[in-house]
Amino acid sequence: MGDAFERVPENVQEHIRAIAKDFKMPDTEDTLEAIANGWLEKKNVFEEKTTEADMVEVDVLSVDEELGALALTYSGSLINIGPFFDGGRRIGYSSIGFRTEIPDSAEKEDANLAKDLAVDDTAVFKNGPVKSTSKIFKIAVCKDDLSAEEQEENLSEAVTIIEEEFVEVNKTVMME
């Protein structure tokens, strides 16, 4: 196996192997290497952009936490969890883009977490854009000194940039 795959955390390697058959790509070791390389690039983008957005990494976002957050899954998907107010959240999901059995993106107003969002656990939603996701690799929350509106604005800006860069990563992976 190549260098990129070896640099991916072991638990994510296992996940990549398990989902590789769902990709619109040949089932080869080169495909695993390309997916791993893309995943590492997405991880770097996620870390850079959440730091630039002045977000803080946490291991858990509780169901009743009012802060908005972004999460990166083992699959390399992005979850946008808006701040909690008026009984719900705006939750967005952007997939990795080349799996056949899940939507590329989905968004839902007035959605909620069905359980705490935690690293190394699946995200599960009540009336969300999707029922659940693959396990969560990283969670970054907005700082608590921002209003709900300011959090929404920061999240929207960060998501736009991250999604654009993820699309470019996907194009690169598909070309390999």
pLDDT, average across residues 82-99: 81
Q: Measure Cα distances from 98 to 8, 71, 146, 169 in Å.
A: 19, 19, 35, 12
pLDDT in tens, 41-73: 999 999 999 999 999 999 999 999 999 999 999
% the chain with pLDDT above 70: 88
In the predicted structure, residue 90 carries a pLDDT above the cut 70: yes
pLDDT in tens, 114-132: 999 999 999 999 988 788 8
DSSP calls for the chain? --HHHHHS-HHHHHHHHHHGGGBSS-SSHHHHHHHHHHHHHHHHHHHHHHHHTT-EEESEE-TT--S-EEEEETTS-EEEEPPPBTTBEEEEEE--S-BSSS-SEEEEEEEEESS-EEBTSEEEEES-SSSEEEEEEEEEE--TTS-HHHHHHHHHHHHHHHHHHHHHHHHHHHH-
Residue 103: pLDDT band by 50, 70, 90 thresholds? very low
> What is this structure's pTM?
0.90
Residue 100: pLDDT band by 50, 70, 90 thresholds? very low
Which has the minimum average pLDDT: 18-32, 57-71, 92-106?
92-106
Domain boundaries, given as residue ranges, for the chain:
52-175
Mean pLDDT of the chain: 87
In the predicted structure, residue 36 carries a pLDDT above the cut 60: yes
